[in-house]
Every structure is written in C-alpha cells, then in structure tokens.
Amino acid sequence: MRYALIGCGRISTNHITAALANKLEIVAVCDIDRSHMQSLLSRHQLDKDLTIQRFESYKDMIEAVKPELVSIATSSGEHASIALYCIEHGINTIIEKPMAMSLRDADAIIEASERTGALVSVCQQCRFNKAVQKARLALEQGRFGKMSHASINVYWHRDKAYYDHDAWRGTWAQDGGCLMNQCIHGADLLRWMMGTEIDTVYGVTRNHLHQYLETEDVGLAVIQFKDGTIGTLEGSGNVFRENLEETLYMFGEKGKVKLGGNSANNVEVWDFSDPRPGDEETSKLNEPAPNVYGHGHVRLFADVIDSIENHHAPYVDAHAGRSALELILAIYKSQKTGLPVKLPLDDFSTMEMRK
Ligand SMILES: NC(=O)c1ccc[n+]([C@@H]2O[C@H](COP(=O)([O-])OP(=O)(O)OC[C@H]3O[C@@H](n4cnc5c(N)ncnc54)[C@H](O)[C@@H]3O)[C@@H](O)[C@H]2O)c1
C-alpha cells in the first residue's frame, strides 16, 4: 500500500516505524522544513532511498504521488485542513491527536469521510496498550458488574525547554494546553471505558507554572455519564522534575482495576470476584515503553491497513477522535463559563478560550 507522511517532527518517527513494521511502501514524506525530512529519514537509514520523494507542500505531494494512505503528524492546528484536503482527494487518512481544534472541523472530517469513502483513524493509540486491552475485555465480559466510577490521572512534566522548542506549543490556535495535548489520550480511555454517553462536565483549568503560555497547565474535571456513573479527569504538565504516571482506575461492584506506568501501560491492580484463568498473568502485565507514546502506533497502523483491505471501520475511527475532543472542549467551556456543560456540544473551539 502506497503511504506518505505529512509532518516530520518529534512523533513522526513512530509513524515511520509503524509504516516499516507494517510493510507499507513509503512513497513520500512532506514537511515545510526540509531539514526535518532529512533528519527523520536519516534516523531510519532511509536518506539514501531515492524511491521516497520529498515535498514541502502536501498539496504538491498528493498531486504527484497519489498515495493510498497518508498520516498527518503536523502541529495540531494544521490537522483539520490537511485531513480535509486528503479526504476530499479520496485518500485514507490517519490523523494525529487531537483530530481538530474545533467540533465544527471534526464534524466536517466525519462528513467528508462518509461522503467520499476515505477511511479516517485518529492516533489515540493508547487503546492498543496490552493493559488497556485486558481491561476493555474484562469490561465487555461484564466482569466489573455494575460500574460505580473511574478516574484518569495524567501527571506529567513539561518544562520551558519543551515549550521553547516549538512556537506552536501552548497556543490556542495550534495546540491547546496540557488537557488537549497531553491528556486527550486519557480522556479517550475514560470515555471509551465508561460509555461514550456523557450528560454533564464540570471543569476547572489553571495556568500556574507556565505563565509564558496562553493555555492551561493543569486541569480537573468531574464527568457525569448518562447511565449515572461518574468519573474524574486530572491532568497536568506541572509535575516536578519528570513524568510521574498516567493512571486509570475503574471501580465496579464486582471488580477493581488500576492501570499505571507512564501511559497506562502496566496493570497494577487486577481484582475480580470471578477469578479466571490468565488473571494471575494479567495482574503482572508490564509493557515497558521508551517514552509515553508507547507501542500503539504500530498496532494502530496495522488495524488501519486491515480496515482498508477488508472494508471495515477502524478500531479508533473519526467518531472516537471527536468524542475525546468533545470531552476536552467541554472542560474548556466549563472553565470559560464557570458553569457545568451539558453534552452533546454542537460546537466549541480552542479559539473561544482566547476571547
Ligand atoms: N499520539 C501521540 O502519542 C502523540 C505524541 C506526540 C505528538 N503527537 C501529536 O503529533 C503532532 C505533532 O507533534 P510533534 O511533537 O511531532 O511536533 P513537531 O513540532 O516536532 O513536528 C511537527 C512537524 O510538522 C511540520 N509541519 C507543520 N505544518 C506543516 C504543514 N502545513 N505541512 C507539512 N509539515 C508541517 C513541522 O515543520 C514539524 O516538522 C501534534 O498534533 C501532537 O499533538 C501525538
């Protein structure tokens, strides 16, 4: 399958790794900065491969190489316009999270994908963590019994050097704050596990330690699901010195689970009233990862390829991308208005936080 990458920065190495692992034919890469393409290809020993074309304009690239699959790993504010261009050209598209900065753009992506038949998947790759998959299976098997509540805690460290490196970070137009950038995986996990139907979101955000940014560096939310269960989300880049954890707790009448590690990649507690074969092994499941991005891109790309070849929806589709985005935007709207926010949200954009 002919594949091209748009955006060759920090996360792009996971995209190339995923493309190589899944035997995609890499036909082109694109970046507005040529040096980023060069260093990405060098890192993967692909810089001498003349079959991989290089473009500074994604439109020129689409025109010239007509890929069957693209992935978009640019700064977040560029995702929607680039995705819409690719989808309108009938190209299957993997979009880095967040899929867009507004619900209007997310809805436009969904509409264009349904109309053109181009498949869309969003890199909410933590769903593919082995620990997360185990918890999801236990949930689908009804092992928790009646659910009570759940919580996601993203305690990470992002310092001034991280923000100084790229001007787009911590801006409402291109990034959003720690909730939109770092915590959207957690928002996705919480909502996916507890049921996508949310009634009300109560959110509070602050900027305490990164006052040179437009956006928040810590945020808390209480989420009331339509079935009566409740959840909390706590996220921050303000943790001193280094990342501490991304932890998901799930509590039901007949079971409790705690997934920990840096990005919900380890099982720390696994306890159910109906012990089953494999529980002992699951309770010790650790999936070490070199960074918080984990191994999920390889699995997400594999799923997308299978979805294209076998004509089914991807595991993390555009609706999943919209759900996670909607939850973060609801927290922002609650902070902005000082009021609880009812879902569904018709539209809200990070740019409304700037007014
Ligand atoms: N899924 C994950 O776990 C994960 C992890 C890190 C980053 N991300 C997301 O990936 C995206 C990129 O993050 P990053 O840390 O790699 O950022 P980065 O700044 O390191 O890389 C972005 C690259 O996109 C290029 N670019 C910007 N606009 C472009 C355009 N119009 N056309 C072509 N290239 C363009 C930039 O020159 C840069 O090389 C962000 O949306 C971020 O939220 C996801």
- Whether 222 is in the pocket of ligand 1, judged by its Cβ within 6 Å, is no
Domain match, 14 and 142 both: no
Phi-psi category of 264—alpha, beta or left, where left has phi over 0 and alpha has psi -120 to 50?
A: left
SS3 label, residue 73:
coil
Residue 78 sits at the vertex; the CA angle it makes with 75 and 80, to the nearest 5 degrees, is 130
Domain match, 116 and 188 both: no
Q: What is the pLDDT of residue 56?
A: 98
| Ligand 1 centroid distance, CA of 134 (Å) | 30
Domain match, 247 and 263 both: yes
Nearest to 265 by CA among 244, 304, 242, 292: 292
Quote the number of domains for the chain. Answer: 2
Phi, psi values for residue 223, rounded to 5°: -120, 125
| Ligand 1 centroid distance, CA of 166 (Å) | 10
* pTM value > 0.85: yes
- Whether 31 is in the pocket of ligand 1, judged by its Cβ within 6 Å, is yes
> Which structural domain, as residue segments, surrounds residue 131?
127-291+322-342
- Whether 6 is in the pocket of ligand 1, judged by its Cβ within 6 Å, is yes
Nearest to 75 by CA among 167, 147, 143: 167
- Whether 56 is in the pocket of ligand 1, judged by its Cβ within 6 Å, is no
Question: What's the CATH number where 236 sits?
Answer: 3.30.360.10
Is 30 among the domain residues? Answer: yes
pLDDT beneath 50: ranges in the chain: none
Domain match, 31 and 77 both: yes
End-to-end CA distance of the chain: 44
Domain match, 176 and 312 both: no
| Ligand 1 centroid distance, CA of 250 (Å) | 32
Report the C-alpha gap between 118 and 352 in whole angstroms.
30
- SS3 assignment for 126-143: HHHCHHHHHHHHHHHCCC
SS3 label, residue 287:
coil
Domain match, 12 and 143 both: no
Nearest atom in ligand 1 to the alpha carbon of residue 292 is 3
| Ligand 1 centroid distance, CA of 145 (Å) | 41
Q: What is the pLDDT of residue 290?
A: 82
| Ligand 1 centroid distance, CA of 6 (Å) | 9
Find out whether 95 and 79 touch, Cβ atoms under 8 Å: yes
Is 350 among the domain residues? Answer: no
Domain match, 197 and 145 both: yes
Domain match, 136 and 109 both: no
Find out whether 232 and 202 touch, Cβ atoms under 8 Å: no
Is 277 among the domain residues? Answer: yes
**What is residue 345's DSSP assignment?**
P
Domain match, 305 and 334 both: no
Residue 129 pairs in a beta bridge with: none
Is 355 among the domain residues? Answer: no
Amino acid identity for residue 336 in this structure: K
Q: What is the pLDDT of residue 89?
A: 98
Domain match, 222 and 338 both: yes
